[in-house]
Amino acid sequence: VGEEEEDGEEEEDSEEGEEDEDGEEETGWFLQWVASPRAETVALASYMCVLLHHQSMEFSRALPYLRRFPRLRLGLSPAVWRLARDEDPAAGGQGAGGQRTGGRGAGWQRTGRKGAAEEVSSLDAGAVRRYAHVIPTELLDHLQAAFSIDSPFWKESDYAARGYFSFWGDAAKPPRNCVEALAHHLLPLTGCADKVVGYEWWVHTRAEGRSIGHQMHFDTEEASLRTGKVIHPLVSSVTYLNGSPSLADPTLVLDQRVHDASCSTAWVSHPSVGSTLFFPGDRLHCVIPRPPPPAAA
């Protein structure tokens, strides 16, 4: 009887030990070195597959990978992706879910169920509009030099590792640098110059044909978000200093505000050196990554 009890105790101890080891695998080194890295890499690989299939206009092939992100409910229309791919407004005619029309300056396109773009005042702060060759040559030269790929700005601002950051300028004070000179030059085109007290500015750079764009976002006053308020600028703008319309990533503006569930109209602006895009400051927008250029034969 004593031996049987001892054997039983040994078996129970052995089973408990195995359970402890399994538990350590689930919460210890296995979780840290195998399970967690695998989950991260699968998610990233799935995201890249979704992106590549959309860039290739193979939308149905992206669906199996999209299902791995159960919280995603809405996506961009195929018509928008086609506009992002084709920098020539005359290249495609009608796209799924909407129409495309020409606009101000090369590379300006719109899609939506509302049909052709209505003619708007050139100083309408509530309209999405773009002006070509709006920057004086001397000022454009200064800006291109200040933010060239080998400019000290990127290193001194720790751009690669710092995360998103911006600068503030007082509209009532004279400009102190070329960016503030640009802001003062563009101010009359905003359509609301008499209401502007200041401007926030930042600069981004993306590799042509091999970037992942810039995620969708609303321009907001960040400090107010902590209090539960959402405050937008009167008007937002994008100025293109460099980039080829056939290679650089286009800007997408959606006719969608914070509390809108969806939208039916979008504007796509392909980079054109020296042009500036204006849109209402409460609209959802992003940068759509263009597909990589074809490999050389």
Given a cut of 50, whether residue 247 has pLDDT beyond it is yes
Give the range of the structural domain holding residue 263, as residue numbers without chain letter.
78-86+123-287
Given a cut of 60, whether residue 72 has pLDDT beyond it is yes
Residues 127 and 40 both lie in one domain: no
Q: How confident is the model at residue 28 (pLDDT cuts 50, 70, 90)?
A: confident
State the angle between helix axes of 137-146 and 178-186 in degrees (0 to 180), rounded to the nearest 10. 140
Given a cut of 70, whether residue 106 has pLDDT beyond it is no
Residues 141 and 282 both lie in one domain: yes
Give whole-number Cα distances, 259 to 24, 75, 238, 254, in Å: 46, 17, 24, 13
Residues 247 and 283 both lie in one domain: yes
Q: How confident is the model at residue 111 (pLDDT cuts 50, 70, 90)?
A: low
pTM over 0.85: no
Is residue 49 assigned to a domain?
yes
Residues 41 and 180 both lie in one domain: no
Query: Taking Cα atoms as reference points, which of 105, 109, 104 lies closest to residue 89?
Result: 109
Is residue 109 assigned to a domain?
no
Residues 276 and 140 both lie in one domain: yes
pLDDT, tens digit (0-9, with 9 covering 90-100), for 142-165? 999 999 999 999 999 999 999 889
Give me the helices (H) in 87-246, please.
137-146, 152-156, 159-162, 178-186, 222-225
DSSP assignment, residue 188? G
pLDDT at 25: 53
Query: Taking Cα atoms as reference points, which of 268, 250, 244, 278 lies closest to residue 100?
Result: 268
Is residue 19 assigned to a domain?
no
Domain count along the chain: 2
108 or 143, greater pLDDT: 143
**Beta bridge mates, 199:** 169
Distance CA 163, CA 152 (A): 17
Q: How confident is the model at residue 223 (pLDDT cuts 50, 70, 90)?
A: confident
